[in-house]
Amino acid sequence: MSGSDRRRTIIRTDDAPSPAGAYSQAVAVLQTVYCAGQVGLDPVTRQPAEGVADQTMRALENLDAVLRAAGGSLDDVVSVTAFLRHSADAPAFDAAYRERMAAILPARATVGVELPAPYLVEISAIAVIGAGAG
C-alpha cells in the first residue's frame, strides 16, 4: 500500500505495470478495492504479451498483483469490466478468462473499445477484501 487518508488508501505495487497517466493502480475504501484497468504488459520487461489469450492472462496476473498489494487476490473480485479492441476476440478472451476466473465468476461487462496499440485487452475490477461480498 502506498498512501492513505481517512477515507481511502492508494494501492501501489511494482509487481504490475506503473500507471501510464494520472491515476492510481487501485484505491481502497474500507474493504472495497477499485482497480484501474490492467493490460497484458509484463511489469519487468515492459513488453506486451502476444495475442488476446496471453494478454488476458497477463492482465489478470497484473490485476492479481495489485489486489495482493491491497491484501487480497482475484478471489475477492465481485465485478469486472473488460475492454476488447476487437469484438471478434470475445471467444478467445472468454476462454482465457474462464481458465483463470472459473472458480469465482464475478459479475462482468465486456465492451468493445479503441485500445492503444499493441493492447487487445484491458481489465478493471472491484473487489471486496476481508469482510466478504455478502
C-alpha–C-alpha distance, residues 51 and 91, integer Å: 13
Given a contact cutoff of 8 angstroms between Cβ atoms, the answer to whether 96 and 52 are in contact is yes
Given a contact cutoff of 8 angstroms between Cβ atoms, the answer to whether 126 and 34 are in contact is yes
Query: What pTM was computed for the model?
Result: 0.92
Fold category of 3-128 in CATH: 60s Ribosomal Protein L30; Chain: A; (3.30.1330)
* Residue 134 in this model has a pLDDT that exceeds 80: no
Query: Predicted confidence band at 133 (pLDDT cuts at 50, 70, 90)?
Result: very low
Per the DSSP assignment, residues forming a β-bridge with 32 are 29, 128
- Measure Cα distances from 55 to 41, 48, 118, 121, 130 in Å: 7, 7, 10, 6, 29
Given a contact cutoff of 8 angstroms between Cβ atoms, the answer to whether 104 and 72 are in contact is no
Q: What is the phi/psi pair of residue 117, to 5°?
A: -60, 140
Query: Predicted confidence band at 83 (pLDDT cuts at 50, 70, 90)?
Result: very high
